[in-house]
């Protein structure tokens, strides 16, 4: 397989599901990237497959999406099932535990979210209607 070509289509580049491209596709998940418009999800994304198009969603979200075969739109819906003050999604990786939950932007005029100071956490807008909170903690905490 030769990807170094004289003529490159920059609108729809070749990015096959084999060789170095496939190895790249598998490795980027652990760095928080997903294939944004995968084949078979056109009815959900409303976009034709784009095997060259990757998006950063962060870890562990990229791994959850891969393991559950979810497009980004499906993942946003899935995470809405893990609401703050209720059940949270918990992921265990070695001694690291991650906790993920959703906060709606429209539930209340003002909301206070309490997170322990000593934990690492990330709050990201879901580009639709709320926020996804990811908390990292050690197994013994």
Distance of alpha carbon 127 from alpha carbon 76, whole angstroms: 9
Give the pLDDT band (50/70/90) at residue 5: low
**Residue 50 annotated among the catalytic residues of the structure:** yes
Residue positions counted in the chain: 141
Asked whether 78 and 102 are in contact (CB, 8 A), the reply is: no
Instruction: Name 66's Cβ contacts closer than 8 Å, sequence gap at least 6.
Output: 29, 34
Is the pLDDT reported for residue 39 higher than 90?
yes
Q: How many CB atoms lie within 10 A of CB 115?
A: 12
Q: How many CB atoms lie within 10 A of CB 3?
A: 12
Is the pLDDT reported for residue 80 higher than 80?
yes
Distance of alpha carbon 99 from alpha carbon 40, whole angstroms: 29
Minimum mean pLDDT range among 11-20, 57-66, 107-116, 129-138: 107-116
Distance of alpha carbon 86 from alpha carbon 11, whole angstroms: 44
Q: Which of 80, 67, 3, 79 is nearest to 30 (CA)?
A: 67
pLDDT digits (tens, 9 = 90+) for 7-20: 666 667 778 889 99
Residue 1's pLDDT is what?
Answer: 46
Residue 30's pLDDT is what?
Answer: 95
Distance of alpha carbon 121 from alpha carbon 79, whole angstroms: 16
Is the pLDDT reported for residue 42 higher than 70?
yes
The proportion of the chain whose per-residue pLDDT surpasses 90, expressed as a percent, equals 65
Region 101-119 average pLDDT:
82
Of the residues 35, 42, 50, 97, which is catalytic? 50
Show the tokens assigned to 31.
């760095």
Minimum mean pLDDT range among 12-16, 59-63, 126-130: 12-16
Residue 138's pLDDT is what?
Answer: 72
Distance of alpha carbon 134 from alpha carbon 124, whole angstroms: 8
Is the pLDDT reported for residue 115 higher than 90?
no
Is the pLDDT reported for residue 4 higher than 70?
no
């Amino acid at each position: 397989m030769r990807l170094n070509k004289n003529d490159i289509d920059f609108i729809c580049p070749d990015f096959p599901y084999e060789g170095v491209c496939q190895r790249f596709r598998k490795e980027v998940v652990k760095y928080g990237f997903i294939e944004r418009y995968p084949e078979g999800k056109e009815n959900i994304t409303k976009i034709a497959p784009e095997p060259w198009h990757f998006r950063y969603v962060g870890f562990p979200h990229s791994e959850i999406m891969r393991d559950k075969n979810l497009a980004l739109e499906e993942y946003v819906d899935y995470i809405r099932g893990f609401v703050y003050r209720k059940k949270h999604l918990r992921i265990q990786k070695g001694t690291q535990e991650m906790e993920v939950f959703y906060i709606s932007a429209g539930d209340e005029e003002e909301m206070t979210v309490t997170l322990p100071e000593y934990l690492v956490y990330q709050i990201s807008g879901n580009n639709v209607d709320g926020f996804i909170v990811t908390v990292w903690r050690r197994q013994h905490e």
